[in-house]
Structure 1
């Protein structure tokens, strides 16, 4: 019997250097330090391009070891998209070019062009054979879940199959879930029983393909895999059983005929099927796939990967910005490379691994997209505004841009400012994420920060907490955390209820559409947003109109906002203009000044009125400032979410909410409010520019 071992090592574009260093020391280096001693064992190896480029620069001796193992015939190098894109999320030409970039690099370093490709997150769609074939790829690996979803059984999966799309052929190997959950977590006798049973049935091939990080970086595995010797015992087991079990490469086994033809539908691994579903259905799916009765697990299909773009509008914003840029960057290699780097998959989804909840990974996507835009922008001063369906949901948005800023407005919900790119720092300072219910939140109360991983469970089976009392932060927003969010509130609303997002708002402006018009003038562009809404009292809607006019001028990093509030409301009410700024963290030298001195970005409460609200982030090199007309107070709090990662449940800072509030009295006529939002840069000495 043959065993294929495929190790996939990946770090997303934008991950911090120390994270890569930790992963290298915990998993990437020790794995091969052990493997090199077992000369009869062959593996297949994939490194994503961002990680491998880092290794080339930082760890030349390690790369030399990999080259030596390749020369000895003990490694087959597997290719993939250079910056680990999910191929179904990007244009086919981009996917082919990314694979060619990666294959070129592998051929340059290892002297042989890869024949196979690792699919990011094993996300497969029916057109994938065409994409890979055009890029010169002959085989790939997916999960057994892909095959079981179309009615195949476990016994059908010990081999490989041939598929095609419009005549483009591809060999597809099914990786076995049992091996994913056994290696390196279960005792070797469990693995031995499974493989001998397969051999006894006459099966010729078993395939294991999974993340290299599970060998030392996943919780508890450093101790179990290396200190307690699981990996060494595994290699000794393989070495001692070569009479009936031998490790082979993909290319070696392709000399054996396939089991037959196959056509797969849109699938990934089973856990991704859970994460990509709406939360309620995700819980049902999780219960179904966890059922111990085999009869309950026949042809269970989870969600569709692209549903992440619906589930998380913040993901869709990045995705559609990327799609709009990749078309116009085709003739500029420098800009195109930035687009490729922004296609790294991690920031576009969320599960145990997905990085959407990690601000620094979202920031990386925006950084590269803004860098591409800067390269493609006119070099002379300019300003322009458009109204168009930029996020492709069938309803228009508005976009204002000049040399310094690019501002996106969500017209169908509140006319809010949901993206503000400060081009000199290549930073979207409003890459916010709102607090939402996730299916795993029900498990938060059952976890403890004292729980310890022992390396016997996969991260899919563990639930740990990084701190006690995380349930205290489980509040959910009923609107997107953007800026220029217009709150019409009763005088009885409290800061606490507003923070919890558990209050009644008599105005109908936050989630309702605004009418928009845009006028481009010689040196400025003006966006007019109007909503003829209501102030609801006793079931009666009292007419209330809010008009906000946004002006951007050429060659200035500022946006001017003028409000006009008018209507038949006879009682005073509170009007708040909410801003959310997404800094990459809340600590270090970051601060805000709401008029009474520097305070942390995580400060909570109601502060005295101030006409100048300042924020300072020397790490992103941005310092936004809000100037406003005489508010009665300023409300603030950090927007924090409880999310799940490889190391358990954790609290993540997403943005700082800041809202100047006015007491509005319309009995003597309309009320005007003027604001100015300026984004200043910070130089290398951390001084304002």
Structure 2
């Protein structure tokens, strides 16, 4: 009969690539450091800890005194360090060579810095797919931790989820511990007495098994001080201290043990788990994590860029350049901008920017590799026509030393990626405004009373960072991209356009264009054409042609437009070209000709000739020169939920250049827009 219960705690500490330094600092002061100090005061409390690579890099550079303290806990057997993908990727979706490389990078780091032999693996967001057993086993992983929802999905009961189970893929085995959701929700939200009461009940239920039950809780370390109200709860009010003392006082029937030691005990059985994550993630994703790649096309763009960068980097010759490219690539696989739940995820522009920056850097290193340079050309240009987004239709990529463009002909011929390669910036790195399930809460309850002292981030309360956010719930009917073509009625205003309260008169905005690529020695271009119609008094035929050209000798994109009236009636149209810009600093300024336009304000200016865009960290402005026309600009802002409540986030700036055009039958109108990167002054 069982006479003791083994509690195995695994604490996961992570900050994403590109997060602000003050967030790292706050997390360290409020959560990571206090937990280590508490463990130092309670040597009988033994746990597993996982620190992601971006956090380890920051700690080593900014908090060097922390490592010796953590190293002492490891040496004393009180803390087991877990490995993982170094940059915390969703392991299932990255190429197999990157899986292996990231795991070995972390395992080797822990061995060098802490003399730790890490055999337990922290699976980012506990996103499990059955094929993972094989690459994990090949990388030397002994066990992983996933959620109890993975197990209940195949019929196991909660009372059966003690210890670990063994799974395999093609004979390669790995041990899998279930993490109890009930413990995640008890710790630290309920009293220490309530937690121990639950553990006692679990011991009674397991009394007939004849072995000591092992209960695992793996969860975020930020819940112990960084989440709203938890610093006061955990440290000022002493929840962690009370809990550790209660566990120590219950030593007759309760003992803590890192999961690595528990993994040496006999298995509870065999199991084959379905694709799954924790319950909340399953809800956010629609039941399968990869659906985020469908729900948010912007995530898919990032994902497909990552895959192409990976192929290029792994094709490089071994050596220092390849090693640097691999680090950039792996940093660009950090999971945070590849999904969205209660945290900001894809909606956080600084995280997206960092991810694209590392992927652009990795690809640039690969493109500069000697075996990829075009013979006789120091400044190569290139093009690719292929399915670049996995939708079964051809896309077009143009590359020059200064920039890279990806055009989606089936989505209005828009530019969905526009890399400013020298600055490691994707200029079209924005997120469209779309409905989220939690927006209903905001509409029903614009704001609630002040929050209690501490609450789980999965609370149903409505917390807002500023009033009036419900008025910003505007949704786009198409994916925002550059060089999209509008036909508007004379009554449409800039405010109506910004709020998506207008009607398109043409079928060009999201229609399919026919692509054709041409190339000369120093330039490459894609020509796109569509024979569509415009709804005036009656539908009239209209042909729109556009040609996007990049030059090996200039940091410049030229967009040539031609509108042709093939019919027998006059056509008076209001034609607009939309561009979108990843200007995400709410304090940034634009210039329409010589007039300043704050990036967070909606502006309309007639008879304009140039718009300049800047953002934080840009070394120079981006200039868009146009034939004289009307210019509209408005901020692209979303309302998303976060651990601290609803917040307004600036995703970018939309610019619409408009011309009033009258076309006689069989006549055409032409215009050229010129975009130059890195303008000084």
Distance 2:284 2:523 in 1: 45
Q: 2: distance between equivalents of 1:579 and 1:453? A: 44
Q: Which runs of 5+ in 1 are unaligned?
A: 278-302, 682-686
Displacement, 1:453?
4.1
Aligned to 1:340: 330
SS in 2 for 1:185: coil
1:200 to 197, 204, 215: 204
Alpha-carbon contact 1:219-1:453 (below 8 Å) kept:
no
Q: Output the CA distance in 2 between the equivalents of 1:620 and 1:607.
A: 25
Show the counterpart of 1:160.
Answer: 164
The equivalent residue for 2:253 is 244
Alignment pair present for 1:555 and 2:553: yes
Find the aligned partners of 2:334 and 2:325 in 1 and give their Cα distance.
15
User: Is 1:616 paired with 2:614?
Assistant: yes
Q: Which residue of 1 aligns with 2:319?
A: none
Task: Using the TM superposition, give the Cα deviation of residue 441 of structure 1 relative to its aligned residue in structure 2, in angstroms.
Answer: 0.5
- Alignment partner, residue 476 of structure 1: 475
Aligned counterparts of 2:416 and 2:31: Cα–Cα separation in 1? 39
Aligned to 1:359: 349
Task: Write out per-residue CA displacement over residues 332-376 of structure 1, whole angstroms, 9 at most, x where no aligned residue.
Answer: 222121111100011111111352100111111110111112212
Q: Does 1:210 align with 2:197?
A: no
2:118 maps to: 114
Q: CA deviation at 1:583?
A: 2.0
Residues 84-233 of structure 1 mapped to structure 2, 5 A cutoff: 84-202=88-206, 204-233=213-242
Displacement of 1:245 after TM fit? 0.3
Using the TM superposition, give the Cα deviation of residue 205 of structure 1 relative to its aligned residue in structure 2, in angstroms: 1.4
- SS of residue matched to 1:201: helix
TM-score (norm 1): 0.93
Q: Secondary structure at the match of 1:609?
A: strand
Residue 31 of structure 1: how far off its partner (Å) = 1.4
Deviation of the 1:678 alpha carbon: 1.0
CA contact (8 A) 2:381 2:523 kept: yes
Q: CA RMSD for the aligned pairs?
A: 1.5
Give the 5 Å matches for 1:292-307.
303-307=287-291
For 2:65, what is the secondary structure of its paired residue? helix
In structure 2, the partner of 1:319 is 303
Partner of residue 594 from structure 1, selected from 587, 592, 599: 592
- Which secondary structure does the structure 1 equivalent of 2:607 belong to? coil
Report the alpha carbon displacement of residue 670 of structure 1 after superposing the two structures with TM: 1.4
Say which of 16, 37, 40 aligns to 1:36.
Answer: 40
Aligned to 2:83: 79
CA distance in 2, matches of 1:202, 1:565: 76
Distance (Å, rounded) in 2 between the aligned partners of 1:146 and 1:220: 30
Cα offsets for 1:433-466 (capped at 9, x unmatched): 1100111100013142753242143444443111
1:647–1:168 CA distance, 2 compared to 1 (3 A): same
Deviation at 1:622, TM superposition (A): 4.4
Aligned length: 654
The alpha carbon displacement at 1:202 in A equals 2.2
Contact 1:560 1:675 in 2 (8 A): yes
Cα distance in 2 for partners of 1:147, 1:444 equals 34
Aligned ranges 1:640-651 → 2 under 5 Å? 640-651=637-648
Looking at structure 1, the residues matched to 488 and 461 of structure 2 have their Cα atoms a distance apart, in angstroms, of 43
Corresponding residue for residue 536 of structure 1: 535
Distance across 1 between alignment mates of 2:17 and 2:561: 41
2: distance between equivalents of 1:306 and 1:460? 25
1: CA distance between counterparts of 2:301 and 2:631? 29
Q: 2:32, 2:222 within 8 Å by CA — same for their partners in 1?
A: yes
In the alignment, the residues of structure 1 paired with residue 501 and residue 157 of structure 2 have an alpha-carbon distance, to the nearest angstrom, of 49
Report the CA distance shift for 1:319/1:480 in structure 2 as closer, same or farther (over 3 A).
same
**Counterpart residue number, 1:661:** 658
CA separation of 1:306 and 1:594: change in aligned 2, threshold 3 A: same
- SS for the counterpart of 1:433 is coil
CA distance in 1, matches of 2:107, 2:584: 33
| 1:368-419 CA distance string (max 9 Å, x none) | 1111122122462121222211112111111111100111111101101111
2:362 equivalent to 1:372? yes
Structure 1 residue aligned with 2:11 = 7
Which TM-score applies when normalising by structure 2?
Answer: 0.94
Q: 3-state SS of the aligned residue for 1:648?
A: coil
CA deviations 1:61-120 (Å, max 9, x no partner) are 111111111111100111000000011110122111101110000011121220110000
Aligned residue number for residue 402 of structure 2: 404
Alpha carbons 1:560, 1:677 under 8 Å: kept:
yes
Q: Does 1:674 align with 2:658?
A: no
Cα distance in 2 between the residues matched to 1:183 and 1:618: 40
Is the deviation greater in 345-354 or in 262-271? 345-354
Q: CA deviation at 1:609?
A: 2.1
Contact 1:491 1:572 in 2 (8 A): no
Counterpart secondary structure, 1:626: strand
Cross-structure match for 1:297: none
Question: CA contact under 8 A between 2:589 and 2:599: conserved in structure 1?
Answer: yes
Q: Secondary structure at the match of 2:533?
A: strand
What is aligned with 2:293? 309
Spell out structure 1 runs of 4+ moving beyond 4 A: none
SS of match in other structure, 2:495: helix
